[in-house]
Amino acid sequence: MATTIHEPPKIELDRLPSHGSGNGDWRNRVPAGGGLRRVKEYAPPPASTGVWVGLAAITMFFAAFTSALIVRQGAAPDWQHITLPPILYLDTLIIIASSVTLELARRRVTAFMGGVRESEKEKGKTASPALWLYATLGLGLLFVAGQTYAWLQLQSQGFGMSANVSYSFFYVLTVAHALHVLGGLGGLVRVIGKLHGSVLRRSTLVATARYWHFMGGLWVYLLLLLWMKL
């Protein structure tokens, strides 16, 4: 009786750059001399695909509320125009600055993937990505604090969510955006944790940066919408 021999399955492994590999084989994750963990060159596509699906859903959500706001304003004789709290304009600068710091962090990590020279490590440049990520995280928290201050300020003036339909739209849009920003802050915490404790995949950093930049652009759009329509 003929016996069929099956070949064993092939397992593909993430390959690390050969230069600066430290003391060990491909499993080694720390460059020679210690320092920042190495970032993997290869990353599976689900992280990128997932963030695009999420951004599409968020876009549809805010597009629906934009349409509802425009229709309701045109059909409501009791529509009340409101003055936006000045803190919202400062918040705009804060979230734009956070996108800049995150982009600087992403470029630092990308540069590290190409190898870090000993002279650069001596100057402490390998710590730059984490510092810029912490700056982004701090600015994001400051943005949410500014939003919270704006809500409390309006409520102290007697303009709660039920004061008028225009205020209802204001609270729904700004609170929904703030909740999505909190989700982005959770992603930043995850990136920082992987950068310090294990191997950070490039797709994770890119997906997080893409989501955060989208939140910044979405806020600029919402501010213009509220300024023109409310």
> Bigger pLDDT: 47 or 217?
217
Backbone phi and psi for residue 201, each to the nearest 5 degrees, phi listed first:
-75, 140
This model's pTM is above 0.85: no
User: Exposed (0-12), middle (13-18) or buried (19+): which is 106, by Cβ within 10 Å?
Assistant: buried
Residues whose CB falls within 8 Å of the CB of residue 109, separated by 6 or more in sequence, listed in order: 39, 129, 195, 200, 202, 205
Per residue in 62-114, pLDDT (tens digit) is 999 999 998 888 776 777 888 899 999 999 999 999 999 999 998 888 777 66
- Would you state the pLDDT for residue 115? 54
Distance in angstroms (rounded) separating the CA atoms of residues 58 and 15? 35
Give the pLDDT confidence of 19-56 residue by residue, as tens digits.
Answer: 444 444 444 444 444 445 555 554 455 777 888 999 99
Alpha-helix residue ranges (DSSP H) falling in 9-157: 46-75, 87-113, 118-122, 128-156
Walk me through the domains of the chain, giving residue ranges and CATH numbers.
46-229 (1.20.120.80)
Please give the pLDDT value at position 143: 97
